[in-house]
Amino acid sequence: MAPSPAPAVLELERLTVTFATAAGPVQAVRDVSLSVAPGECLGVVGESGAGKSQALLAVLGLLAANGRASGSARFAGSELIGLPAAALDRVRGARIGMVFQDPMSSLTPHLTVGEQLAEVMRRHLQVSHAAARGRALELLERVQLTDAARRSGQYPHQLSGGMRQRVMIAIALSCRPQLLIADEPTTALDVTVQAQILSLLVELKRERSMAMVLITHDMGAVAGVADRVTVMRAGRVLETASVAVILRSPRDPYTRELVRAAAPPVVAAPALAAAAGDTALAVSDLSVEFALPRGWLKSPARLRALRGVSFALGPGEALGVVGESGGGKSTLARAVLALLRPAAGKVVWMGRELLWLPPRERRAARGELQMVFQDPVGSLDPRMTVGEIVGEPLVAHHPELDPTARRELVAQMLKRVELATELSGRYPHELSGGQCQRVGIARAMILKPRLLVCDEPLSALDGPTQREILALLAGLRRESQMSLLFVSHNLAVVRQLCERVLVLYLGTMMELARSESLQAPRHPYTRELLEAVPVADPEVQPARLGRARPGEPPSALAPPSGCVYRTRCPHALKVCAERVPEWEETDGGARVACHRWREI
Amino acid sequence: MSEAAAARGGLWRDAARRLRGKRAARVALALLAAVTLLALLAPAASPWAFDTLDWRHLAQPPGLTAAHWFGTDRLGRDLFVRTLYGVRLSLLISVLASAISVGIGLAWGGLAGFVGGRTEEGMMRFVDVLYSLPYLFIVIILNTVIGRGSLAVLLIAIAAVGWLTTARIVHGQTLQLKRREFIEAARATGLSTAAILMRHVIPNLAGTVVVYATLTVPQMILFESFLSFLGLGVQEPHASLGNLINAGAQEMESAPWMLLVPAAFLVLLLGCLNLLGDSLRDALDPREH
């Protein structure tokens, strides 16, 4: 949609945001001008720290206490900058709706979601309690919250991330705003849920001819939703153009870089094929259960996080494990390393069962099996310096090394993960997320392990950093010939790095296939996952979003009978509810658990 | 052990450097050192002993030209010497009692939190049971069994109450720590439980525990004063800050210096220890800088 001649809903002119800090004033936003027409969606993209959120927070008068905005921001013709809080309160939440990244911290934990929604309407629309409740339920149904009547009586912590984000959207829409500002609304969600939320936003925007600002670092999201795109960097606007122009023929070199980063990462195709028949890691019929206490006298509920998972990993081979959150991926990673005790089944590493080794031998064996964690900062001890963290495995496994030799090895390792040696005296909180993840990788690699387990090592990082880390992992793998177990929710990433992919849903194996053959997946769940991966192409992505089906995994406490995926499966038949599908061999060692894989 | 110490050198060295950079910490440390040194040396250097009766100067007010700078009490005992004796005894009891209670509490709470399961349940319920016993009653029983005014009784009595709170605090902190990903990372690396405790759990508890310890010293001084005030602690003619303040309080209207001199020393000690505790906590947290 070209910028229409109608007056803009929101118009920023030379907006500047300055923060007073101990080190003097810092300009987070400089001279930003942009406009949003009625019914239009403007994407604002840039990496973290580009000032995109701060610009829009300034519009809403929500800057931190040390922030000052200057310039102009007109909403429907009236100036917002400098407006007193009372006057702003009549605009924000009512005529401008907001959706933030973290729906958990944006909702009050002690009120049911229905009440929170009704409260906003009572405040802004002066409707009665009963009317507000009725409209709240309607809205929750409109945002496709499954089982809305029951859910509206629940508290935020009882809902999944996707459901909470739906509630946030319902709250944002409750007063029929002219403008919706969505700040990274899908960053914290699973890929499948991301697609659902974005498609919901598109639908709502069209239905209510509402203007929208989508702040994101995800070019795929922009391609599916936005009409025009503004690219920001270091507080400035680099360029604004239609989404097709930005994604197809960007002018600015930085935009080109962003667009390139959004394309599926190109990593040299996995070179090492496992020698046939050789097995380094054998997992057979592995089940893990967690006991959830239900109070004093009741017996604890049993959550089956993994059910009968089996696979083998050859020396030097890489296996990707994908699925949505709650699918049991992280549990599998930890069970493989004997960090938790399975309820049944075996994990055999090089012919030995790690879990039943005497503690001393088990600790020694752990030198061969290392792990990279999801949270780059949280997995590093905040009171240790980078050098101490990376050197710690050496302290545990090679106590004979003197400190100088250890420092030397640490320095070499830091160099290998492309970190400056000077960083070894720094503490984790002084580093960026990407640097912290490099430290985590260095710690895992310093012992030259023969198996590296990565638990979502990219999900906390932004686009360009993800590519760098992925390239680093691919390089390390090539040099060291180690096996790799790579857990991720992003099928596109896994496919690039691993020879084979195992798809898990509710702790059950759905499909095990070679990465090349995933172009034509056998299992409908794999298909859904593939479909959800965003593509930064404005021609294709809106249609892909349109096909996103609502639905989230059911609770692992009460999984469906038969095939666990059947409640979301478009091809489900009666037999799917009655019998658990066999783990059938298809071709070339690939396997699938579906009654209907031959027909669909 | 030497390995662990070497690795933690970074944290402690950095903390010491940061502590030196804080003026409040430097002032508090200097004052504490001065008072402690005075308490250790002055009684020996002064012509008066803590129980010397000077019949010529009964209840004399303080003055620089007088024979007794800080005045005397009703019996003509030098208040300066008695107060410094009191500081010495109070510091000795409170530092020892704090060390004992923090040591036991750290080990008990840390172990309970880290091991978990039934062991944890049992250990923490034991703490709850001890909490519910009336401690004054125990102090009185100890007094009658072992003898009034014994230093050992006082120490046991004070430490026995103090470690319960430390154990609870450390227990809670350990539970929080245990869930952090870097502890799991240490386990995945192949560290033994003992090494995880030494290298990761204790350094991360250090901030809380050190602050708590510096805050318990003043608490212990107050508690000792309280017991002495009730006549269960230090007995005449020996002096502690507690029984000096108790005696001074009775003469408050006619001879206010008898209260003000020991009270001023108590305030000075408590203030310095609190300041030091706050600065230590900040110094031990790399994120504060």
Task: Judge whether B7 is closer than 8 Å to chain A, CB to CB.
Answer: yes
Angle between helices B241-250 and B202-229 (to 10 degrees): 40
Alpha-helical segments (H) within A285-432:
329-336, 359-365, 386-397, 403-416
- Residue A258 is predicted with a pLDDT of 83
Higher pLDDT, A170 or B64: A170
Measured between beta carbons, the chain B residues lying within 8 angstroms of A364 are 190
Name the band, by pLDDT with cuts 50, 70 and 90, for residue A3.
Answer: very low
Name the band, by pLDDT with cuts 50, 70 and 90, for residue A563.
Answer: very high
Name the band, by pLDDT with cuts 50, 70 and 90, for residue B149.
Answer: low
pLDDT at A140 over 50: yes
Separation of alpha carbons A520 and A589, rounded Å: 16
Phi, psi of A510 (to 5 degrees): -105, -45
Question: Is A6 buried (19+), middle (13-18) or exposed (0-12) by CB count in 10 A?
Answer: exposed
Our CA-based measurement puts residue B279 at a distance from the nearest CA of chain A, in whole angstroms, of 17
Task: Judge whether B138 is closer than 8 Å to chain A, CB to CB.
Answer: no
Our CA-based measurement puts residue A103 at a distance from the nearest CA of chain B, in whole angstroms, of 22
Q: State pLDDT tens for residues A147-168.
A: 888 888 888 888 888 888 889 9
Our CA-based measurement puts residue B201 at a distance from the nearest CA of chain A, in whole angstroms, of 10
Task: Judge whether B118 is closer than 8 Å to chain A, CB to CB.
Answer: no
Task: Judge whether B188 is closer than 8 Å to chain A, CB to CB.
Answer: yes
Phi, psi of B263 (to 5 degrees): -65, -40
In this prediction, residues A105-133 reach a mean pLDDT of 87
Name the band, by pLDDT with cuts 50, 70 and 90, for residue A265.
Answer: low
Separation of alpha carbons A39 and A42, rounded Å: 10
pLDDT at A276 over 90: no
The three-state secondary structure class of A417 is coil
Question: Is B195 close to A396, i.e. CB distance below 8 A?
Answer: yes
Higher pLDDT, B19 or A136: A136
- Residue B154 is predicted with a pLDDT of 77
Integer angstrom CA distances of residue B282 from A381, A391, B32, B201: 17, 26, 19, 18
Integer angstrom CA distances of residue A326 from A107, A168, A569: 22, 22, 18
CB contact at 8 A, A449 and A404 = no
Higher pLDDT, A160 or A329: A329
Closest among A580, A374, A560, A400 to A459, alpha carbons compared = A374
- Residue B7 is predicted with a pLDDT of 40
Average pLDDT over chain A, rounded to whole? 87
Average pLDDT over chain B, rounded to whole? 81
In DSSP notation, A479-517 reads HH--EEEEEES-HHHHHHH-SEEEEEETTEEEEEEESGG
pLDDT at B67 over 70: no
Phi, psi of A27 (to 5 degrees): -90, 110
- Residue A228 is predicted with a pLDDT of 94
The three-state secondary structure class of B8 is helix
Separation of alpha carbons A363 and A344, rounded Å: 22
Task: Judge whether A330 is closer than 8 Å to chain B, CB to CB.
Answer: no
In this prediction, residues B41-64 reach a mean pLDDT of 73
Q: Based on C-alpha coordinates, what's the Rg of chain A?
A: 26
Q: What percent of chain A has pLDDT over 90?
A: 35
Name the band, by pLDDT with cuts 50, 70 and 90, for residue A336.
Answer: very high
Question: Is A403 close to B6, i.e. CB distance below 8 A?
Answer: yes
Residue A27 pairs in a beta bridge with A18
Question: Is B3 close to A443, i.e. CB distance below 8 A?
Answer: no
**Cα A552 to the chain's mean position, in Å?**
15
Residue B127 pairs in a beta bridge with none
pLDDT at B157 over 80: no
The three-state secondary structure class of A215 is strand
Q: State pLDDT tens for residues A411-451.
A: 999 999 999 988 998 889 888 888 999 999 999 999 999 99
pLDDT at A4 over 50: no
Strands (E), A90-235: 96-99, 179-183, 211-216, 228-233
Q: State pLDDT tens for residues B167-213.
A: 999 999 999 888 889 999 999 998 988 899 888 988 888 878 888 88
Question: Is B7 close to A384, i.e. CB distance below 8 A?
Answer: yes
Task: Judge whether A399 is closer than 8 Å to chain B, CB to CB.
Answer: yes
Alpha-helical segments (H) within B230-256:
241-250
pLDDT at A287 over 70: yes
For residue B3, what are the contacts with CB-CB under 8 A and spacing of at least 6? Answer: A395, A399
Name the band, by pLDDT with cuts 50, 70 and 90, for residue A1.
Answer: very low
B182, B281, B284, B288: which to substitute to probe chain A, counting the most A Cβ within 10 Å? B182
Measured between beta carbons, the chain B residues lying within 8 angstroms of A374 are 181
Separation of alpha carbons A13 and B280, rounded Å: 49
In this prediction, residues A313-335 reach a mean pLDDT of 90
- Residue B69 is predicted with a pLDDT of 73
* Total CB pairs under 8 A between chain A and B: 85
In this prediction, residues A561-587 reach a mean pLDDT of 89
Q: State pLDDT tens for residues A201-248.
A: 888 888 888 999 999 888 888 888 999 999 999 889 999 999 999 988
Name the band, by pLDDT with cuts 50, 70 and 90, for residue A120.
Answer: confident
Reported pTM:
0.79
pLDDT at B218 over 80: no
Measured between beta carbons, the chain A residues lying within 8 angstroms of B286 are 382-383, 427, 429
Q: Based on C-alpha coordinates, what's the Rg of chain B?
A: 22
End-to-end CA distance of chain A: 38
Task: Judge whether B11 is closer than 8 Å to chain A, CB to CB.
Answer: yes
In this prediction, residues A576-586 reach a mean pLDDT of 89
Residue B148, token pair as written in the block = 């009034």
Phi, psi of A488 (to 5 degrees): -160, 160
For residue B92, what are the contacts with CB-CB under 8 A and spacing of at least 6? Answer: none
Residue A97 pairs in a beta bridge with A180
Task: Judge whether A359 is closer than 8 Å to chain B, CB to CB.
Answer: yes
Measured between beta carbons, the chain A residues lying within 8 angstroms of B7 are 384, 388, 391-392, 395
Closest among A397, A393, A403, A389 to B2, alpha carbons compared = A403
pLDDT at B10 over 70: no
- Residue B64 is predicted with a pLDDT of 67
Count of CB atoms within 10 A of residue A357's CB? 16
- Residue B33 is predicted with a pLDDT of 92
3-state secondary structure A514-543: ECHHHHCCCCHHHHHHHHHCCCCCCCCHHH
ipTM score for this prediction: 0.76
Separation of alpha carbons A587 and A512, rounded Å: 11
Residue-wise burial string across A535-546, b where 16 or more C-beta atoms lie within 10 A, e elsewhere: bbbbeebbebbe
pLDDT at A543 over 60: yes
Separation of alpha carbons A583 and A577, rounded Å: 16
Q: State pLDDT tens for residues B223-233.
A: 887 887 777 77
Closest among A395, A399, A430, A427 to A410, alpha carbons compared = A395
> Which chain A residue has its CA at the smallest distance from B286's CA?
A383
Q: What is the DSSP letter of B201?
A: I
Q: State pLDDT tens for residues B226-270.
A: 887 777 777 777 788 888 888 888 888 888 888 888 889 888 988
User: Which H or E element spans position A69?
Assistant: strand A67-75
In A, residues 426-485, which contact B (CB 8 Å cutoff)? Answer: 427, 429, 440, 443
